[in-house]
Amino acid sequence: MAKQQQVVIVGGGVIGLLTAFNLATQGQAVVLLERAGVGQESSWAGGGIVSPLYPWRYSPAVTALAHWSQDFYPQLAERLFATTGVDPQVHTTGLYWLDLDDEPEALAWAVREGRPLSKVDISVAHDAVPVLGGGYSQAIFMANVANVRNPRLVKSLKAALLALPGVTIREQCVVTGFAVDNGRVAGVDTAQGPILGDQVVLAAGAWSGDLLGTLGLSLPVEPVKGQMILYKCDSNFLSSMVLAKGRYAIPRRDGHILIGSTLEHEGFDKTPTETALESLKASAVELIPALAHAEVVGHWAGLRPGSPEGIPYIGPVPGFKGLWLNCGHYRNGLVLAPASCQLFADLLLGNKPIIDPAPYAPEGRINAG
């Protein structure tokens, strides 16, 4: 067991929560700071597909984290459910991709990576998903893809954390900068005064770039707005996730159907728009015509932490001892969280890392502002 240190974590999304959980279960004292309520930003707003939308389009760095996480999610969910009584609902439905432009690349990737993705006749997709729209001619299917009910995952993680010794969660606590002492980051400044620690972890999603900017460092993480809509149908209405033309439908166990999502560069504006609502509804009806008669029961926007190639920053910040990053997961924060947070804990505690940490190292990827 590593020597106990006080670790201050800035950001209470799924990355911050799971980082805190991994460190606290290894005997570290953790103070988690969240500017609003935990898990209310990107972690709450996303769809929760436990796979990148197009996994073959990513670099090996993202793939390595994704594979480890996908294989780990079911046991993480079981552990959290057993500990807290809150089920994150990891729901394995498989995923159909329809009319892909780069289908050959997808199939070649699956062979190379040993993932269970294969071409199926479009009639097979219609048999499996009877509500699917008729305008498609080709399909590929990956059987073991799950989705996690992200608001429940966040609730479960929070409950698990609060049950552990040495954990403090402070919500409505806005971090304004870092306390630096002789080149070492000794804590953070907040509206309620300084909070000191042995190590400080920046896991603030889309806000991470702005915060690191207070140290004169330029981190290319910026908010990318995404809007979603939610329908309520019968619990067996949609049997599998489907994805076409960049839009997807995700069934929850209770019949809620999520349709997403837009990609908009609007700064920190999270206002849902009528334009996006109409666009998402049109995509929904194209994918699943019966949704034309279903009620939209929710419409919201979130801010993804956009980063170059979607490769997160995981590891120590050069030139500022005591400061660490676990941020910049772009569209795949929920997908990559288990691996990212395990790798992060390995690095901070000096354990053998689960995968090669080099591609995620902040060193060489952030610049003086």
Over the chain, what HEC string results? CCCCCEEEEECCCHHHHHHHHHHHCCCCEEEEECCCCCCCCHHHHCCCECCCCCHHHCCHHHHHHHHHHHHHHHHHHHHHHHHHCCCCCEEECCEEEECCCCHHHHHHHHHHHCCCEEEECHHHHHHHCCCCCCCCCCEEEECCCEEECHHHHHHHHHHHHHCCCCEEEECCCCEEEEEEECCEEEEEEECCEEEECCEEEECCHHHHHHHHHCCCEECCCEEEEEEEEEEECCCCCCCCEEEECCEEEEECCCCEEEEECCCECCCCCCCCCHHHHHHHHHHHHHHCHHHHHCCEEEEEEEEEEECHHHCCEEEECCCCECEEEEECCHHHHHHHHHHHHHHHHHHHHCCCCCCCCHHHCCCCCCEEC
Separation between Cα atoms, residue 129 and residue 77, nearest integer Å: 26
* β 256-260/217-218 pair status: unpaired
Separation between Cα atoms, residue 54 and residue 56, nearest integer Å: 6
Q: The sheet that has 241-244: what strands, in order across it?
A: 117-120, 139-142, 95-98, 241-244, 247-251, 256-260, 222-232, 296-306
- Burial classification of residue 176, based on how many CB atoms lie within 10 Å of its CB (0-12 exposed, 13-18 middle, 19 or more buried): exposed
Tokens of 303: 């801010």
- Residues 257, 250 contacting (CB under 8 angstroms): yes
Tokens of 160: 């698990």
Enter the CATH code of domain 95-143+222-306.
Answer: 3.30.9.10
Separation between Cα atoms, residue 85 and residue 2, nearest integer Å: 29
- Burial classification of residue 1, based on how many CB atoms lie within 10 Å of its CB (0-12 exposed, 13-18 middle, 19 or more buried): exposed
Q: At what angle do helices 150-162 and 14-24 cross, to 10 degrees?
A: 30
pTM of the model: 0.97
Domain-by-domain residue ranges, the chain? 6-47+152-220+309-368, 95-143+222-306
pLDDT for residue 367: 79
pLDDT for residue 368: 65
6-47+152-220+309-368: CATH superfamily: FAD/NAD(P)-binding domain (3.50.50.60)
pLDDT tens, the chain, 369 aa long: 567 899 999 999 999 999 999 999 999 999 999 999 999 999 999 999 999 999 999 999 999 999 999 999 999 999 999 999 999 999 999 999 999 999 999 999 999 999 999 999 999 999 999 999 999 999 999 999 999 999 999 999 999 999 999 999 999 999 999 999 998 999 999 999 999 999 999 999 999 999 999 999 999 999 999 999 999 999 999 999 999 999 999 999 999 999 999 999 999 999 999 999 999 999 999 999 999 999 999 999 999 999 999 999 999 999 999 999 999 999 999 999 999 999 999 999 999 999 999 999 999 999 765
